[in-house]
Structure 1
């Protein structure tokens, strides 16, 4: 159930829900926990008498509702935005979700990886496809000749952005705050890793990209504004998907104006179905290419919690656990 305080999250027995028109029921194997999950929970009333948290997950189609022709019972799927506008998040044995937000999970791909996609990978895809000169879709070669700077390369979105950008052919630079996080970002596939706390961070990035960075995937726009201004190229895009470090940011207008800089905000809840479906299709292609592995050896350690410790899983994410937090439902 939803609660402002994670300690009030509790496991409850309920009847198995039935899918409605255009919906499917999924037997959840893994549920993914993201910052948006604890933030939405702590914001309070979700609009339902009770609600199950968590947007992401992976499992097996258990039933299909009227009008659903895209899925069959037994299909393996990964899920996107399950709890958005719904009482049925993925921290449960069963969830109900729109058929259009459940995507094929190949037999060779683990439920862990499936549940780690969703918010992080779709956010990363959107950030990588909003630049003025495109591309608006990702595939091998789509970002060839571009330099992408990923802020916070050891986070879940940063990890996905590194992997997708590299798969699409970009030169990938990332910023981190410690040698341990640098090792994770390197394992994820970043070509160059820079400690943003160093006074020479801008110089180090410029050494890699003398003409400037074409695209910034930004998690901390306020604190990173001076560094971004120092390293971006003409017609660069700064794609902002979070507010780490504060709710306000300031920047010098004229230098950014002279570089025709685009500052693009993004959030999945209102980005539109076209962008969500494009992301899911491209993520599926990257999955089939083996471009999105997780685990410590690939730069994203995985932390498992049982279903009855969903509160502890939320607390781990809220307190900045490094890696991906998953709930092992089955």
Structure 2
């Protein structure tokens, strides 16, 4: 099979297009013939050596997310799933066979039925961003641990950085759950994307006073903040998180340390949570996969310009360029067309 592989960590240039044997599924696993691979920030960080677990053996195929068709099953897996369209998550987490290849093998629970209507591009965009967003929206003491229509009725969600992949996922999932969603952005172009994703209100933090604008929507504060840049936004979040509200941090853009006003948070009985989907509790992953899948089947999740998530598609041989695009902050979702 054609696959992207790297034998040492480093820049995008360590990624090579090679021929590898097609992997066989082991017990409890399925082999998926991939159509698209999704690229996330954690993919280039693992490849660069910035995070642990970059190599699961003498070579590594990158990328966690993808979509395709189940071609073979291992011992103990129902043969009826053969031929089913699926989306794949965490393919490369502590495993050799990521999704930047014509085939991958994953535990059967990590190949989720996609159905006939959703596109493979959508399937490859789900995984890490949507599971992360789900965790952020369900962590607070006053929040439900499941999402679905009506789950967040009466709640206000603030998404800091509403034009990013996780921000877009948080907007779409929160709107599906009937929350009021406020998104912050840094430009008119990104404001259009956040609104297309479903944000009820959009604030350009370079042009507007975020605290004043959000307080117009939520005078008592918001129920949850989905936070991409805690070091930059901590002071704003402290002023906006409401009674029993939560700040869910899933990235550290802009700095690695956060200073918090203690009394403000104590008075609100507020919480700060830190989110890394790979190491979150197992039950949280199970619930997230089920809820994201339900949102897809409900038609509540979309990709593309009209969903606020422009797609940037690269052929397999140009996976290094796809990684570079994510590393440089491409707005939208970067995919690799494994068939091209």
Instruction: Give the TM-score range, shorter chain.
Output: over 0.9
Is 1:77 aligned to residue 83 of structure 2? no
TM-score under structure 2 length normalisation: 0.95
* Shift, 1:199, TM fit: 5.5
Aligned to 1:193: 202
- Please, which of 279, 299, 313 is the counterpart of residue 304 of structure 1? 313
> Which segments of structure 1 move beyond 4 Å, counting only runs of 4 or more?
none
* Shift, 1:149, TM fit: 0.2
Aligned to 2:149: 140
> How far does the alpha carbon of each residue in 1:148-197 deviate from its partner, in whole angstroms, 9 at most, with x for none?
00010000000010000000010000100001000000000000001123
Q: Structure 1 residues 237, 41: closer, same or farther in 2, change over 3 A?
A: same
- Please, which of 42, 45, 53 is the counterpart of residue 39 of structure 1? 45
Structure 1 SS opposite 2:173: helix
* Shift, 1:274, TM fit: 1.4
Is 1:58 aligned to residue 58 of structure 2? no
> How far does the alpha carbon of each residue in 1:1-48 deviate from its partner, in whole angstroms, 9 at most, with x for none?
233121121000011110101111000000000001000110175131
Q: Is the 8 A contact 1:178 1:195 kept in 2?
A: yes
How many pairs align? Answer: 330
- For the residues of structure 2 that align with 1:300 and 1:103, how far apart are their CA atoms? 22
- For the residues of structure 2 that align with 1:144 and 1:39, how far apart are their CA atoms? 37
* Shift, 1:71, TM fit: 5.4
> How far does the alpha carbon of each residue in 1:225-279 deviate from its partner, in whole angstroms, 9 at most, with x for none?
1111111211110011111111111111111111111001111111132111111
TM-score under structure 1 length normalisation: 0.98
Question: What 5-or-longer segments of structure 1 have no aligned partner?
Answer: none
- For the residues of structure 2 that align with 1:246 and 1:104, how far apart are their CA atoms? 38
Q: Structure 1 residues 104, 35: closer, same or farther in 2, change over 3 A?
A: same
CA RMSD of aligned residues (A): 1.1
Q: Structure 1 residues 154, 199: closer, same or farther in 2, change over 3 A?
A: closer
Is 1:325 aligned to residue 325 of structure 2? no
Aligned to 2:276: 267
Q: Is the 8 A contact 2:73 2:79 kept in 1?
A: no
- For the residues of structure 2 that align with 1:263 and 1:221, how far apart are their CA atoms? 10
Mapping of 1:208-287 within 5 angstroms? 208-287=217-296
Structure 1 SS opposite 2:194: helix
* Shift, 1:70, TM fit: 7.5
> How far does the alpha carbon of each residue in 1:188-219 deviate from its partner, in whole angstroms, 9 at most, with x for none?
00000011234622101100111111100111
- For the residues of structure 2 that align with 1:64 and 1:272, how far apart are their CA atoms? 27
- Please, which of 21, 30, 46 is the counterpart of residue 15 of structure 1? 21
Question: What 5-or-longer segments of structure 2 have no aligned partner?
Answer: none
Moved more, 70-79 or 119-128: 70-79
Q: Is the 8 A contact 1:22 1:65 kept in 2?
A: yes
